A = this chain, B = another copy of it.
């Protein structure tokens, strides 16, 4: 094939940007041979041009003027890996207006102003691709948009945050406490010094919004996502879950329920036999359920420079091919759907409660649950000094009814303390 040079303008040169430049240095010739496209990073916009990036590019390719890269008529494609809303949003809109396809790895941006960006891409007739934004190196967005374009998808459940999965794996496999596991994740560089975005589920919620938008073709923004983090999970929760045949995972769950869409992130009890249960350490996985295709799972590295750069590279080649063919792929057109509040969502539940160890406890508890149409599926217990800790799994119930049950249980004289309420997936 002829070698066709595609000039890439890179906005941001952190982990992902630098890894992309490195892959292109090492593999550029092989890629050109296979695809006929020679990708060349000709300009790089960074905040600090003096900082060493570990990339083999001449100093004069770096600038701190992002606008000059976006508007450079010699640049064919823009890769945005800055993160955050502004100036990333303006750069992308300007690039599309200038006829340049854009590859972005920016989940905050897509989870907040995705619809605006897709419309701009549509109007410009240019690609806006973002495989790296949701699950790092795992091909997820392209399969959802293309392979499953006709599939009636009913639910997607993902382990989309590596930090929290690492912490939960340490707690499960080694009996580590939450604080020790977090400290270890921080010392290994898997968790930030301020880990809020990960452990409180903000990162996963942004990804859930993007997944819901693409899987169902409707507008969902990060603020629509019901969100609980993992900081309340105790060693007792973990060991009780195991005793009942479950592991605890932080899941992003997006569902189509009638004409509405429910999107949530919370710790979830996953049956040990479920494929998501064996996703360990900092790996990510996304489990898709569709009427025709049945169950699918995509597994891999959800973060890190080289895996995310691999996703950017796939998008780059796609955009470059489309550009040379004089068109764009299909930008999603997002419709509107009602976002179902968590109160109306139905789940199975798990709850621990510390109770006085005396007769009549089960009678009192079951009286409360009955009143709210919540029914007990299984119960187990462990001794706790003079008290006992009971662990209940409840059959599917409305969140609203379960929360009302919780209120009333708290009032029961026999109940000393309620543990965290957790949703459960798997067969009833």
List chain A positions with a Cβ less than 8 A from chain B.
Answer: 1, 19, 23, 27, 30-31, 34-35, 39, 131, 137-139, 142-143, 146-152, 217, 275, 278, 283, 290-301, 304, 306-307, 309-311, 313-314, 316-318, 321, 325, 327, 330, 333
Tell me the minimal C-beta distance from A18 to chain B in angstroms.
12
Which residues on B sit within 8 Å (CB–CB) of A138?
296
Among A34, A146, A321, chain B packs the most CB atoms within 10 A around the CB of A146
Q: Which of B148, B290, B298, B314 touches A146 (beta carbons < 8 Å)?
A: B314
Q: In the bound complex, do residue A292 and residue B278 qualify as a contact, i.e. CB atoms below 8 Å apart?
A: no
What is the bound-complex CA distance between A300 and B296, given in angstroms?
4
Q: In the bound complex, do residue A23 and residue B314 qualify as a contact, i.e. CB atoms below 8 Å apart?
A: no
Q: In the bound complex, do residue B293 and residue A137 qualify as a contact, i.e. CB atoms below 8 Å apart?
A: yes
Which residues on B sit within 8 Å (CB–CB) of A316?
150
Q: Which of B275, B292, B330 touches A313 (beta carbons < 8 Å)?
A: B292
Identical chains in the assembly: 2
Q: In the bound complex, do residue A131 and residue B150 qualify as a contact, i.e. CB atoms below 8 Å apart?
A: no
Tell me the minimal C-beta distance from A205 to chain B in angstroms.
24
Identity of the chain B residue whose Cβ is nearest the Cβ of A311 in the assembled complex? B147
What is the bound-complex CA distance between A131 and B23, given in angstroms?
28
Known: A296-B139, A301-B295. A310 touches B35 (CB 8 A): no
Q: In the bound complex, do residue A35 and residue B311 qualify as a contact, i.e. CB atoms below 8 Å apart?
A: no
What is the bound-complex CA distance between A316 and B146, given in angstroms?
10
Q: Would you give 27 A-B contacts (Cβ < 8 Å), ordered by A?
A: A1-B333, A19-B292, A23-B292, A27-B291, A30-B152, A31-B150, A34-B149, A39-B150, A139-B139, A139-B147, A142-B143, A142-B146, A146-B318, A149-B313, A149-B318, A150-B314, A150-B316, A151-B310, A283-B295, A292-B307, A292-B310, A293-B311, A294-B301, A295-B301, A297-B299, A298-B298, A327-B327
Among A147, A298, A309, chain B packs the most CB atoms within 10 A around the CB of A147
Among A19, A275, A327, chain B packs the most CB atoms within 10 A around the CB of A275
Tell me the minimal C-beta distance from A133 to chain B in angstroms.
14
Which residues on B sit within 8 Å (CB–CB) of A297?
297-300
Which residues on B sit within 8 Å (CB–CB) of A151?
310, 313-314
Q: In the bound complex, do residue B149 and residue A314 qualify as a contact, i.e. CB atoms below 8 Å apart?
A: yes
Which residues on B sit within 8 Å (CB–CB) of A147?
131, 139, 142-143, 311, 314
Q: In the bound complex, do residue A314 and residue B152 qualify as a contact, i.e. CB atoms below 8 Å apart?
A: no
Which residues on B sit within 8 Å (CB–CB) of A217?
34
Q: In the bound complex, do residue B310 and residue A290 qualify as a contact, i.e. CB atoms below 8 Å apart?
A: yes
Known: A149-B318, A152-B30, A321-B330. A300 touches B294 (CB 8 A): yes
Tell me the minimal C-beta distance from A215 to chain B in angstroms.
11
Known: A139-B143, A299-B275. A150 touches B293 (CB 8 A): no
Which residues on B sit within 8 Å (CB–CB) of A31?
149-150
What is the bound-complex CA distance between A31 and B290, given in angstroms?
14
Which residues on B sit within 8 Å (CB–CB) of A299?
275, 295-299
Which residues on B sit within 8 Å (CB–CB) of A146?
142, 146, 314, 317-318
Q: In the bound complex, do residue A150 and residue B27 qualify as a contact, i.e. CB atoms below 8 Å apart?
A: yes
Which residues on B sit within 8 Å (CB–CB) of A150?
23, 27, 31, 35, 39, 310, 313-314, 316-317
Identity of the chain B residue whose Cβ is nearest the Cβ of A144 in the assembled complex? B139
Identity of the chain B residue whose Cβ is nearest the Cβ of A148 in the assembled complex? B314
Which residues on B sit within 8 Å (CB–CB) of A293?
137, 300-301, 306-307, 310-311
Q: Which of B300, B306, B325 touches A327 (beta carbons < 8 Å)?
A: B325
Among A27, A137, A309, chain B packs the most CB atoms within 10 A around the CB of A137
What is the bound-complex CA distance between A391 and B153, given in angstroms?
47
Tell me the minimal C-beta distance from A379 to chain B in angstroms.
28
Among A39, A291, A297, chain B packs the most CB atoms within 10 A around the CB of A297
